[in-house]
Amino acid sequence: MVTATTNSAVMPITSRRQDETPLRRRNRSCRGYGNPYGGCGTRREHRVIRVTPLAVVPGLPQPGRTLVVGVVNVTPDSFSDGGEWLQRDAAINHGLELLEEGADIIDVGGESTRPGATRPEVSEELRRVLPVIRELAATGACISIDTMRTTVAEQAIADGARMVNDVSGGKADPAMLQLVAESGVPYVCMHWRAHSDDMQSKAKYVDVVSDVIAEMRPQLDAADRAGIASDKVIIDPGFGFAKTGEHNWQLLSRLQEFDVLGRPLLVGVSRKTFLGQLLADADGSSRPPKQRDDATTALTTVLALRRVWGVRVHSVRASRDAIAVAERLLKERGS
């Protein structure tokens, strides 16, 4: 017992700590002495992370997560798998495999756009892609035609393609935008400066992100004037197209700045050279394209966490798995 003397009487005072329960003592020790946590180990304030809904593009799948666009190159000279899917049946079977792995869209192309590539004749490009598009579209799959040529796009749409992926963003063929507007299909508008045989000489920027955004504005304005519905236009910064490896990394680190253009974003970094350079051997030899899939999957995870609309990849299952992980984390953060 502790006593205290006052002017009027001697009064007993019970020690505060004597009648505290263990729980009260624990809470007082954790909260009352400048501890930044409520209880022991639980923050007093939690920042709620709101998950931004992905854009919906009319006419395309709407899975509520980052879409996966699987690549089918019907070419003899693509940088990642040149010649592997050149034959009709091989290309069709590959497309079916990608669908089985979970691709939302299959992007079929008959022209290699690797640096230094020579363009095929229109008739050859048509010969490569049309049979593949017809067979894959017959399964009900969502097919995209990867072409810069109006003639190819027109016939591909007639054969079942539901999206046009134009790496020139309407610059290589002036009639492309009008065709897309009249057909009503979604359109991927990519940043572009020159054809493959000359594009890397154009990889000069003051600020690559600001410059690419500024150069894409006229492309989007042209699409608007042609009559393409704005909600059907998807943008692609054009990784590797008139870009150095350093430019690609800068674009990736500042992707959020493209929000100013107000369009869904498709990112195509799968197996690209800048990943091979990052993973180079001790002697400086770039890692071969097919050995860059793990790095591609790592980027898919980052992009899915950033709620990018879509990724264009060669290895679909790995990207779908990465997106599933990202979605689960986003769900936890937003709960």
Q: How many CA atoms lie within 13 A of 171 on its CB side?
A: 16
pLDDT of residue 200: 84
Tell me, yes or no, if 312 is annotated catalytic.
yes
Q: What average pLDDT does range 126-132 have in this prediction? A: 98
Tell me, yes or no, if 171 is annotated catalytic.
no
pLDDT of residue 25: 52
Output the CATH code of domain 67-334.
3.20.20.20
- With bands split at pLDDT 50, 70 and 90, how would you rate the model's confidence at 173? very high
| Per-residue pLDDT tens over the stretch 65-120 | 999 999 999 998 766 666 788 899 999 999 999 999 999 999 999 998 877 778 99
DSSP E strand boundaries for 155-212: 163-166, 187-190
Given 162, 292, 312, 320, which residue is catalytic?
Answer: 312
Global pTM value: 0.83
CB 202 within 8 A of CB 226: no
Per the prediction, the chain carries an average pLDDT of: 87
Residue 189 above 90 pLDDT?
yes
Given 271, 272, 292, 320, which residue is catalytic?
Answer: 272
Write down the domain spans for the chain.
2-43, 67-334
Q: Which of 22-26, 95-99, 124-128, 190-194 has the lowest mean pLDDT?
A: 22-26
CB 297 within 8 A of CB 279: no
Considering the chain, what percentage of its residues have pLDDT values greater than 90?
75
CB 72 within 8 A of CB 91: yes
Element holding 10 (H helix, E strand): strand 10-13
| Per-residue pLDDT tens over the stretch 193-233 | 988 878 888 999 999 999 999 999 999 999 999 999 999 99
Q: What average pLDDT does range 8-12 have in this prediction? A: 46
CB 182 within 8 A of CB 154: no
